[in-house]
């Protein structure tokens, strides 16, 4: 029988792309969008209406509200957790609000899933959760730890919890590319540091990765994709080489380079082909992969971590130009 699925934060950049993909698949009898913004839900319904897609439902609710989550999760089989507060400067100024949503909200979701018939939970994370230096990253690290540890308290319930962690999503709200595309009109692009790098993933590849995790997760993993990096200065050149580059310095809470697998996580990380999987230190999780007949090898990099600055693959200016055209079609570049 086809499954039912709920997406928290379903009106965001990822949620909309993921919804489109699963509606096309026709694999789910019931799809629930759970989010707190009525305007964004109304806007999404203009494209994906209940009349056109009878399997679709929209639930207004906040992940801070456990009782509402409990109602929304009735008869749901799979949960994709994309709801979060994400802006780094806002987190530094409003720390408890981020803790309430990203940490306590995650725990609410876990408890609500354990109290219902949910079978699988995939939570979205970020590279900023690896060795975090800002509050946003710290809250997402806490969230990751909560979802991984939830596998220890499920008892005899047939449910598993896993995490997907990836880098900057090209063209998503809050990413540097839409900002640069808008700023190029001024003839000047602000660059934090000429050496700054970031991991890059397209929205489509992010959606594919979550789908893959839904089908292949065994529980307890933090999945990490093998993706290229870019230099922020190259992004600026790809958008407009003629613009003046104004070096403004790294802002509070920013790193020069991001990590997705830290040196400390490396010993517990396995290479499963297209993705890495950070496993809990409990060796029984590695045994799960052996028992499932899944081929893997131990994670190994010369520098001991998976870092955007020492990554083996970088996007060229020409590659970035092509990707920006494809991923930001609605913006004139």
Which of the residues are catalytic? Answer: 128
The answer to whether residues 211 and 223 touch, using CB atoms and an 8 Å cutoff, is no
Ranges of each domain in the chain: 3-169+200-226+265-308
Confidence of residue 333 (pLDDT cuts 50, 70, 90): very low
Instruction: Please give the share of the chain, as a percent, with pLDDT higher than 90.
Output: 81
* Token couple for 168: 């900057």
Tell me how far CA of residue 179 lies from CA of 40, 100, 172, 200, 229, in angstroms.
Answer: 21, 28, 10, 16, 19
How many CB atoms are closer than 10 A to CB 156? 4
- The sign of the CA dihedral 150, 151, 155, 157 is positive
Instruction: Out of 135-144, 248-257, 277-286, 303-312, give the one with best mean pLDDT.
Output: 135-144
* Token couple for 201: 């993933």
The closest of 56, 16, 53, 49 to 32, measured between CA atoms, is 56
* Average pLDDT of the chain, as a whole number: 93
More confident residue, 265 or 325: 265
Tell me how far CA of residue 51 lies from CA of 16, 46, 72, in angstroms.
Answer: 18, 11, 20
Confidence of residue 182 (pLDDT cuts 50, 70, 90): confident
Tell me how far CA of residue 222 lies from CA of 19, 77, 127, 146, in angstroms.
Answer: 22, 20, 11, 12
Indicate the CATH number for domain 3-169+200-226+265-308. 3.40.50.720
Residues 289-328: pLDDT tens digits?
999 999 999 998 876 899 999 999 999 999 999 988 887 7
Element spanning 8, H or E = strand 3-8
Judge whether residue 1 has pLDDT over 60. Answer: no
Residues 197-215: pLDDT tens digits?
999 999 999 999 999 999 9
């Amino acid at each position: 029988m086809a499954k039912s699925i709920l997406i928290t934060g379903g009106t965001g950049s990822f949620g909309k792309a993921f919804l489109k993909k699963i509606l096309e698949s026709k694999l789910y009898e019931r799809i629930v969008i759970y989010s707190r913004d009525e305007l964004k839900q109304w806007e999404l319904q203009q494209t994906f209406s209940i009349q056109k897609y009878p399997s679709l439902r929209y639930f207004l609710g906040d992940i801070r509200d456990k009782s509402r989550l409990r109602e929304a999760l009735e008869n749901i089989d799979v949960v994709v957790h994309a709801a979060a507060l994400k802006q780094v400067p806002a987190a530094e100024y409003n720390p408890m609000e981020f803790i309430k949503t990203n940490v306590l909200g995650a725990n609410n979701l876990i408890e609500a899933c354990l109290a219902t018939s949910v079978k699988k939970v995939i939570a979205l994370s970020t590279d900023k959760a690896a060795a975090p230096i800002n509050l946003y990253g710290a809250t997402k690290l806490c969230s990751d730890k909560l979802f991984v540890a939830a596998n220890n308290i499920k008892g005899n319930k047939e449910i598993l919890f896993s995490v997907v962690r990836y880098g900057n999503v090209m063209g998503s709200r809050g990413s540097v590319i839409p900002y640069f595309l808008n700023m190029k009109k001024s003839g000047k692009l602000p660059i934090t540091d000429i050496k700054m790098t970031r991991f890059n993933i397209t929205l489509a590849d992010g959606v594919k990765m979550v789908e893959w995790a839904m089908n292949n997760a065994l529980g307890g993993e933090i999945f990490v994709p093998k993706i290229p990096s870019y230099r922020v200065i190259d992004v600026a050149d790809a958008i407009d080489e003629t613009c003046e580059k104004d070096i403004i310095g790294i802002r509070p809470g920013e790193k020069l380079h991001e990590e997705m697998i830290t040196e400390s996580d490396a010993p517990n990380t396995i290479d499963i082909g297209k993705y890495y999987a950070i496993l809990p230190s409990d060796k029984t999780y590695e045994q799960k992969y052996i028992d499932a007949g899944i081929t893997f090898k131990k994670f190994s990099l010369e520098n001991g971590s998976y870092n955007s600055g020492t990554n083996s693959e970088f996007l060229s200016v020409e590659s970035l130009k092509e990707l920006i055209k494809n991923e930001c079609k609605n913006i004139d570049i």
